[in-house]
Amino acid sequence: MTIDGVNPPEFALNAINLASAGLGARPVFATDEFFAPLERMLQDAPPVYHPGVYDENGKWMDGWETRRRRGPGNDHAIVALATNGLIRGFEVDTAHFTGNYPSACAIDACLAPDGPDDRTVWTELVCPRPLGPSALHHFEARSDSVWSHVRLRIYPDGGVARLRVYGAPALDRAAIGDAVVDLASSLLGGRIIAYSNGHYGHQRLLAPGRGINMGDGWETRRRREPGNDWIVVKLAARGEIDRIVVDTAHFKGNYPDACSLQAADLGANACEVAASVTASSMFWREVLPPQKLAADSIHTYEASALAIAGPVTHVRFNIFPDGGVSRLRVFGRIAKAGI
């Protein structure tokens, strides 16, 4: 897979963007936001450029941009991650910032459940690295600690279109205990590892909340050949399924006719090569037989409708023949060790 001709590093392919505004990441502080607010830097959509569009302070830019510094020092911004997690790497995107990008950046992180303050100890995960104009920059982070906030330092000033923090949510098994949780939730660590088609997008299928519009979910192209579309999800933890929810919010003339769900227990250290999982998923056991779907509706399938047979680690969600689904929820209990 490529992004604008750039091959993303491994950490960006098999991780969750913990700095996603759509997952709940939020701006905390910026030394300056004169030209563009910090919150734009956390948006999920690719940055855009509007020629000739200006606001009262100058050129409208899609990202975070500070004014030109006329003294010593540098600008920085603090972001609260969507959830506490392990960080594997960063993406700093200076798209459309050509004469106003920072010369360099560095990134720190901290664990501050109540928010960082003057006493917070920050750990440098990326030392100062050069940045270029209108380009994607990837920086690996070698850390096994859990973090709640990141601090982006830019030298000396300028604009950054997007900051993405790739990692894995820290699953607090002790706090969850025997409670029923959404095992597919992105905020717990559920993630999509393979799919037949995602022409109109797929990343938001496991996001929190209901979809805000038809672009906020998973939607395939119109199928012009036999068969059906599908998507494979690795659950946040090995668990027993208790309830399934399929939400077709905003999909009215393009919702699937029906859906079904298969599942498998591939073990804690299962190989996640997409091709291997895709091939085996065709033969996983059926947990939810084909069910008719309705437009713009929440469909709930309780335990009585499910063929449940022990813990599972992965599910394959099938739609017939194609269409759009806003959210998939796979509620269940995390399996106890040794079961």
Cα–Cα distance for residue pair 184/237, rounded to 1 Å: 9
What is the reported pLDDT for 13? 84
The pair of three-digit structure tokens given for residue 318, joined into one six-digit string: 């099938």
Burial class (CB in 10 A: 0-12, 13-18, 19+), 334: buried
pLDDT tens digits along 43-93: 999 999 999 999 999 999 999 999 999 999 999 999 999 999 999 999 999
Cα–Cα distance for residue pair 168/208, rounded to 1 Å: 16
What is the reported pLDDT for 336? 87
Task: Select from 263, 265, 261 the least CA-distant residue to 290.
Answer: 261
Full-model pTM: 0.92
pLDDT tens digits along 277-293: 888 999 999 999 999 99
Q: For the chain, list the domains and their CATH numbers.
A: 10-169 (2.60.120.260), 175-334 (2.60.120.260)
pLDDT averaged per 10 residues, the chain (length 339): 64 92 98 98 97 96 97 97 98 98 98 96 98 97 96 98 97 94 97 96 96 97 97 96 98 98 84 75 96 98 92 97 98 85
Q: Are 293 and 189 in contact (CB under 8 A)?
A: no
DSSP 117: -
Strand, coil or helix: 173: helix
Cα–Cα distance for residue pair 144/216, rounded to 1 Å: 32
What is the reported pLDDT for 18? 98
Cα–Cα distance for residue pair 110/151, rounded to 1 Å: 8
Amino acid sitting at position 92: V
What is the reported pLDDT for 3? 47
Task: Select from 288, 243, 242 the least CA-distant residue to 263.
Answer: 288
Task: Select from 167, 29, 160, 150 the least CA-distant residue to 88.
Answer: 167
Task: Select from 202, 272, 192, 287 the least CA-distant residue to 236.
Answer: 192
Cα–Cα distance for residue pair 56/141, rounded to 1 Å: 38
Give the DSSP H or E segment for 315: strand 312-320
